[in-house]
Every structure is written in C-alpha cells, then in structure tokens.
Structure 1
Amino acid sequence: MHILVINAHPHLQDSRGNRALAHELETYELIHFHNLYEQYPDWNIDVEKEQQLLLAYDRVVFQFPLFWYSTPPLLKKWFDDVLTFGWAYGPGGTQLQGKEFLAAVTTAGTEKQYRSGGQNAFTISELLRPIQATVTKINGTYLPAFVLYHVQERTDEYLAEQAKAYVEHIRQDAAALMY
C-alpha cells in the first residue's frame, strides 16, 4: 500500500512529537512524507499538484499538532483549496471515492484532559469530527486516528517507541484498524 503523509506543522524542526514521527517514516519506501509548510511557505498551494498526489496514493494521513482544537491554518487552507467541488465532491466529484484517510495528531495535553469532563471537555475523536465529516463528504473511508498525547513531557525514548507504533498504525489494514 502506498501512503501519503501530509504534514502540517508550521515549525517541524522545533517539534519533538511530529519530528519523531516524521523521522521514523524516512526508512519506509512506500510512505511519502509531504511537508506543507516547507512546500508552500508563501501559502500559494499548487492545487493540481496536490490533487495528483492524492490520486497517486492508496491512503492519506494528515499529520499535525492540535492547534486550538483544530488543524494548523495551512492544512485548513489545503482542504479549502484542494478538495474542490466537481473534483472531490458534488456532481462529478468522485476522484477520491473509496480512498482511505486518517489523522495523526499530537497534543500538549494528556489523554485524561481530552475526555468528557476533562480539562478540554471533548475527546480527540469529537474534536476530529470536521475531518471525518470532510472525508465522508468526499466519499472517502475515515480510519481511526493515531494520537500522541502530552508530547512535551515525554522522553526521547518514548517518542521513538511511539513513532514505531505510528508507522505500524498507518500501515495496518483498514479492517484491522476499524475493529
């Protein structure tokens, strides 16, 4: 399976969690790492190029740190620009039908903080609903997210272990992820 990882961390070089995940991906031939902030520092997204990338892969992973309970702004712009009417959805918009998508998210908060009644009041699954709704709108298959919590307080060894688990997660068969 060919996997496209769309990374949307505005300061990847300063990130501990996302950088650990990205580093682990380097050794896998069938995984392509696509860094939006590096590719588009001027925020002028090449829509046709991005659409062709989406078509070339079986599974798409959106890797990002949770920013104010959402995606970083360039990833939101990417959704707005690339997933166009008539191409990704609407009449004739069947290009991504059946393609698999999932989110890989890092947070500063603990898992306990991301639950009903916790400090953030919502689970990560609830906060990722807009992405799930987007995938549903484009007739894709939304797979369970990979979440790395409390990244600033983790050891380098822990992050390296979780990076291996991340790669295992995104490479796993869809049926196994959903059950």
Structure 2
Amino acid sequence: MTRILILFAHPALERSRIHAGLIHSIRDLQGVTLHDLYEAYPDLNVDPDREQELLLRHDIILLQHPFYWYSAPAIIKQWQDLVLEHGWAYGHSGTALQGKLLGNVISTGGMQSAYVRGGHHGYTIREFLLPFEQTARLCNMTYLPPFVIHGTHRMEQPDMPYCCKQYRQMLEGLRDDRYTPGALAEAVYLNELM
C-alpha cells in the first residue's frame, strides 16, 4: 500500500467549511497520515528532523491548503525553507526524496473559469503552482496534478459532501495505485480521474 502524507496548512480552519469537511472525511483512511502544520507549529518553529522523518516514511506528499495570494499559507514556505535541505532533499548527495510524489490539494474562492489564460486571474492554476512543480523536480520527485476545489465562497452546503467524497476517492486511488502514470501525466486536475 502506498503511504500518503498530507501536510495540512490553514491558519483559520475554524472559518473554512470546505477544509474542515475534507479533513473530517479522511480521518479514518488507512495509509493516510494527516499532519496539521499550524497545530504542530503554532509559532512557525518547524522541526526539520521530525519533518524529514515523516517524509521518509511516506511515498506521496500532498500539501493541502487554501490558495492564498496565488500560493500557500506562510507555514508551507517556512516548512520548505527548513526541511528541504541541500544535501538531503536536493544537490549531489540530496536523494532522500527521490522517486516520491508531490502534489497540492487546494481550495479557491474563484470559479474554474477565472483560472484560464485570459480569465480574471490571467493564468491557470498549474501556472501559479509552478514553484511547487519545480521544487518537486529539484528534489527528484514527480509532481502530481493538483486536486482543486473551486468556488468555495459561493459553495452551497449540499455541494460539500460531493467534494469530500471525491477527495476521499482520489486519496484511495493514489493509495491503491489505481492511476497509471500516463493518466496522471495527462490530467490537468486530479479531480478528473474520479
């Protein structure tokens, strides 16, 4: 069984219906470790040794967060700066993460139509996530298409269970190796594989 680590980062979880629902929907999912970075490090003082040990024990690393200012909450950057050390994660002797998969699980207030060339935001989600894709490449990892939930500001309560179900199914599919490398390479979003 493929082991999945979810590095969760939401500085105001009490105000997020969607992320609270997503987390609740996977708490009992075998083979999936949920690691809340803000809960573990409220002072942003990330422990690199602890985090590196977690990475070594998992095959897939997913960064789950709201899409803040076209990126991630601050603790994700702090985590990257401290944990992905030269000589460990990258560089000539930095092969600890080689062969692992990295991806993003994000929520956006904007609709999918706003994240296209010429749309309201001018670029696609994948273009905004290029720094994460390049981080994966530098660390000899494979970058996965993101799992994206659009339109959260206008989302009605009845739509939330569908998103949570789709999220759980996606994680089960990754865990159980249901997706071929070709299907993963062709998908724009992991959501398309459900």
TM-score between the two structures when normalised by the length of structure 2: 0.89
Q: Distance in 2 between matches of 1:140 and 1:115?
A: 26
- 1:56-135 paired onto structure 2 within 5 Å: 56-135=57-136
CA RMSD of the aligned region, Å?
Answer: 1.2
Which residue identity is paired with 1:93?
Answer: G
Structure-2 change in CA distance of 1:177 and 1:169 (3 Å): farther
Cα drift, residue 59 of structure 1: 0.8
Q: Distance in 2 between matches of 1:21 and 1:79?
A: 23
1:138 corresponds to: 139
The C-alpha deviation readout for 1:29-65, integer Å capped at 9, x for no partner, is: 2111110011100111010000000000111110010
Cα drift, residue 13 of structure 1: 2.0
1:177 corresponds to: 184
TM-score between the two structures when normalised by the length of structure 1: 0.96
Which residue identity is paired with 2:106?
Answer: V
Q: What is the number of equivalent residue pairs in this alignment? A: 179
Kept in 2: contact 1:16–1:152 (CA 8 A) = no
Unaligned runs of 5+ in 2: 187-194
Kept in 2: contact 1:61–1:170 (CA 8 A) = no
Kept in 2: contact 1:12–1:19 (CA 8 A) = yes
Cα drift, residue 7 of structure 1: 0.5
2:192 corresponds to: none
% identical aligned pairs: 39
1:46 corresponds to: 47
The C-alpha deviation readout for 1:54-91, integer Å capped at 9, x for no partner, is: 00011111001011111111101101110000000002
Unaligned runs of 5+ in 1: none
Which residue identity is paired with 1:85?
Answer: H
Other structure's SS at 2:45 match? coil
2:56 corresponds to: 55
Structure-2 change in CA distance of 1:141 and 1:171 (3 Å): farther
The worse-fitting range, judged by mean Cα deviation, of 157-166 and 71-80 is: 157-166
Other structure's SS at 2:112 match? coil
The C-alpha deviation readout for 1:5-24, integer Å capped at 9, x for no partner, is: 00011111221121111111
Q: Distance in 1 between matches of 2:39 and 2:26?
A: 17
Q: Distance in 2 between matches of 1:124 and 1:135?
A: 17
Matched, 1:29 2:30: yes
